[in-house]
C-alpha cells in the first residue's frame, strides 16, 4: 500500500464531496424548507400536514433501497451512484415547483427517496469513515458545520427570492444550483475507499489494535451476519429513529416561531439562528467528543437537549429565551451516535451495510413525522405537543445508549481481506 507524502491527501476530497452533498440537499433545500411550508400549503389549497406527506413515498423508496445501496455502488460505480442520488433529490424539488396540485407535489417525493439512499445517508459518512483512521469526528464535523454556516447566509437570500420571484421559481432555482454543485464535486473528488487507490487512510499508524492492520488489505470488525443477531444493532436503529424527530423538526423552524407568536421577520431570523447554532455547536462537538468519548458526550447532551426543548415550550413569549432554545436543540445529541457509533461499535468491515440498516430506522420516522408535525400545527397552531414528545423520546434514548455500551463487548470482531472497490 502506498503512502501519501504530499500536502493534499485524497481523504480531504471526501470531505469536499460530503460538504457538496450537504450543501445541495441540506443547506439549500432542508434548512430553507421551513420558509416554504405555509406558502406552499396555501398555494396548493392543502393542510400543512398534507403537503408533508411528500416524505411518505420518498421514505418508502429509501427504506427499500438502503439495504442494497452497497450493491448498487458496486454495480454502476460509486461516483455515478452519488451523482444519480444528488440529481434525483434536487430534481424532486424542481418537480414540486411545477406541481399543479398537492397530489403531484406528494408524488415528487419519490425521487427524494432515491437521493436519500444513494447520496445523503450512506456515501458521505462511509467515505469519511473509510478514509480517516484518525480525526473521523472532525472530518464529519467540517461538512456538517459548513453546510449549517452557509445556511445562515442563504436563508435570508432565499427568503428574498421567494418574495421577489414567488415560491415556484425560487425553489426551482435553488434545487438546480444545488444539483450543479453536488455533481461537479462528486465527479472531481469522490473515491469510495483507500484500497481502491492502493492507499492507506489518512492518519494511519501501524498499530496492532488499529482497525486497518499491518496487512494493508485486511480490515477488522463485526460481520453483518453477526451484527444482525445482536440487539445492539436494533437499539442503534431505535436511536436513529428517535434522531429522526429532531432532524425533521429543523424543517419547521419558521412556522414554529410564528406559531409561538413571533413575527415573519423574527421567524426568518430564527432559521438563521438555528443554522448558526448548528455551525457553532457542531464545531465544538468534534472536540468535545474527542475529549469525552462518544458515550459520555451523548449522555451529557441528551440531558442538555431535553432542557432546551422544554425551554422552547415554556419561553413565555420571550424571543431571547426562544433563541437560546433554538441554539440548544441545534446541537443534536443523537446525531454523533447516528454517524460515529457504527464504526466505534461494529468496526469497518461491513460498515456500509450496517449504516444502511441504521438509516432504515431514520427513514421510517421521516416517512410519518413530517406529516404528524404538520397536522399538529394545523389543528393546534402550535408545536408544543411535538416538542414535549421529543423530550420524552430523548429520555428513552438515554437508557438505550447505556444498554448499548453494556452489551457491545459481547460482539465478536473478525478480520477479512477486502476487495478493491469499483471506482
Q: Rounded to an integer, what distance in angstroms lies between the CA atom of residue 354 and that of residue 224?
A: 7
**pTM over cut 0.75:** no
Q: Please determine, for residue 29, whether its predicted confidence score (pLDDT) is greater than 80.
A: yes
SS3 149: helix
Confidence (pLDDT) at 395: 94
At 105, is the pLDDT very low, low, confident or very high (cuts 50, 70, 90)?
Answer: very high
Q: Rounded to an integer, what distance in angstroms lies between the CA atom of residue 308 and that of residue 413?
A: 38
Q: Rounded to an integer, what distance in angstroms lies between the CA atom of residue 277 and that of residue 164?
A: 28
Confidence (pLDDT) at 419: 55
Mean pLDDT along residues 255-281: 83
User: Which CATH number characterizes residue 344's domain?
Assistant: 1.20.1250.20
Domain limits for position 286: 10-196+206-417
Q: Which residues pair with 417 in a beta bridge?
A: 218
Confidence (pLDDT) at 303: 93
pLDDT cut 90: percent of the chain above it:
21
**In the structure grid, which three cell numbers stand for residue 175, read together?**
434545487
Q: CB of 56 within 8 A of CB of 109?
A: yes
1 belongs to a structural domain: no
347 belongs to a structural domain: yes
Q: Please determine, for residue 173, whether its predicted confidence score (pLDDT) is greater than 90.
A: yes
At 138, is the pLDDT very low, low, confident or very high (cuts 50, 70, 90)?
Answer: confident
Total domains present in the chain: 1
> pLDDT for 270-293, tens place per residue?
888 888 888 887 777 777 877 888
- For the chain, give the mean pLDDT: 82
Confidence (pLDDT) at 205: 65
391 belongs to a structural domain: yes
At 208, is the pLDDT very low, low, confident or very high (cuts 50, 70, 90)?
Answer: very low
Q: CB of 390 within 8 A of CB of 249?
A: yes
377 belongs to a structural domain: yes
- Pairing, β 414-417 against β 218-221: antiparallel
Q: Please determine, for residue 415, whether its predicted confidence score (pLDDT) is greater than 80.
A: no
367 belongs to a structural domain: yes
Confidence (pLDDT) at 183: 93
- Taking each helix axis as running N to C, give the angle between helix 264-292 and helix 294-313, from 0 to 180 degrees, rounded to the nearest 10: 160
Q: Rounded to an integer, what distance in angstroms lies between the CA atom of residue 203 and that of residue 119?
A: 26
At 310, is the pLDDT very low, low, confident or very high (cuts 50, 70, 90)?
Answer: very high
Confidence (pLDDT) at 171: 94
270 belongs to a structural domain: yes
58 belongs to a structural domain: yes
- Taking each helix axis as running N to C, give the angle between helix 335-346 and helix 231-249, from 0 to 180 degrees, rounded to the nearest 10: 160
2 belongs to a structural domain: no
Amino acid at each position: 500500500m502506498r503512502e501519501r507524502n504530499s500536502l493534499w491527501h485524497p481523504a480531504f476530497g471526501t470531505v469536499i464531496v460530503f460538504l457538496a452533498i450537504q450543501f445541495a440537499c441540506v443547506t439549500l433545500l432542508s434548512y430553507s424548507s421551513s420558509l416554504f411550508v405555509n406558502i406552499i400549503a396555501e398555494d396548493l389549497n392543502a393542510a400543512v400536514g398534507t403537503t408533508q406527506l411528500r416524505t411518505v413515498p420518498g421514505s418508502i423508496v429509501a427504506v427499500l433501497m438502503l439495504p442494497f445501496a452497497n450493491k448498487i455502488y458496486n454495480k454502476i460505480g460509486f461516483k455515478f451512484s452519488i451523482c444519480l442520488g444528488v440529481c434525483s433529490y434536487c430534481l424532486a424539488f424542481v418537480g414540486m415547483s411545477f406541481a399543479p396540485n398537492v397530489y403531484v407535489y406528494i408524488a415528487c417525493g419519490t425521487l427524494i427517496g432515491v437521493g436519500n439512499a444513494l447520496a445523503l445517508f450512506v456515501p458521505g459518512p462511509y467515505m469519511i469513515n473509510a478514509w480517516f483512521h484518525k480525526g473521523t469526528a472532525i472530518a464529519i464535523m467540517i461538512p456538517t458545520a459548513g453546510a449549517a454556516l452557509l445556511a445562515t447566509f442563504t436563508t435570508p437570500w432565499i427568503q428574498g427570492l421567494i418574495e421577489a420571484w414567488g415560491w415556484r421559481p425560487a425553489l426551482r432555482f435553488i434545487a438546480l444550483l444545488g444539483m450543479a454543485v453536488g455533481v461537479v464535486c462528486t465527479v472531481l473528488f469522490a473515491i469510495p475507499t483507500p484500497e481502491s487507490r492502493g492507499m492507506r487512510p489518512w492518519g494511519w499508524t501501524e498499530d496492532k489494535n488499529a482497525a486497518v492492520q499491518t496487512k494493508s488489505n485486511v480490515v477488522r470488525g463485526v460481520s453483518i451476519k453477526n451484527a444482525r443477531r445482536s440487539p445492539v444493532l436494533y437499539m442503534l436503529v431505535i436511536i436513529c429513529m428517535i434522531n429522526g424527530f429532531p432532524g425533521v423538526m429543523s424543517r419547521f423552524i419558521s412556522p414554529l416561531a410564528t406559531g409561538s407568536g413571533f413575527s415573519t421577520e423574527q421567524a426568518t431570523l430564527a432559521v438563521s439562528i438555528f443554522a448558526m447554532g448548528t455551525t457553532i455547536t457542531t464545531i465544538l462537538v468534534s472536540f468535545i467528543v474527542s475529549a469525552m468519548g462518544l458515550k459520555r458526550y451523548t449522555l451529557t447532551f441528551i440531558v442538555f437537549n431535553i432542557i432546551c426543548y422544554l425551554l422552547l415550550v415554556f419561553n413565555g413569549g420571550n424571543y431571547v429565551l426562544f433563541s437560546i432554545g433554538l441554539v440548544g436543540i441545534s446541537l443534536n445529541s443523537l446525531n454523533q451516535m447516528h454517524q460515529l457509533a457504527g464504526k466505534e461499535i461494529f468496526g469497518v468491515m461491513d460498515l456500509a451495510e450496517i449504516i444502511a440498516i441504521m438509516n432504515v430506522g431514520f427513514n421510517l420516522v421521516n416517512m410519518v413525522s413530517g406529516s404528524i408535525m404538520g397536522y399538529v400545527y394545523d389543528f393546534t397552531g402550535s408545536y408544543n405537543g411535538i416538542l414535549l414528545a421529543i423530550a420524552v423520546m430523548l429520555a428513552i434514548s438515554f437508557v438505550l445508549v447505556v444498554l448499548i455500551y453494556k452489551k457491545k463487548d459481547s460482539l465478536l470482531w473478525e478480520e477479512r481481506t477486502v476487495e478493491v472497490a469499483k471506482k
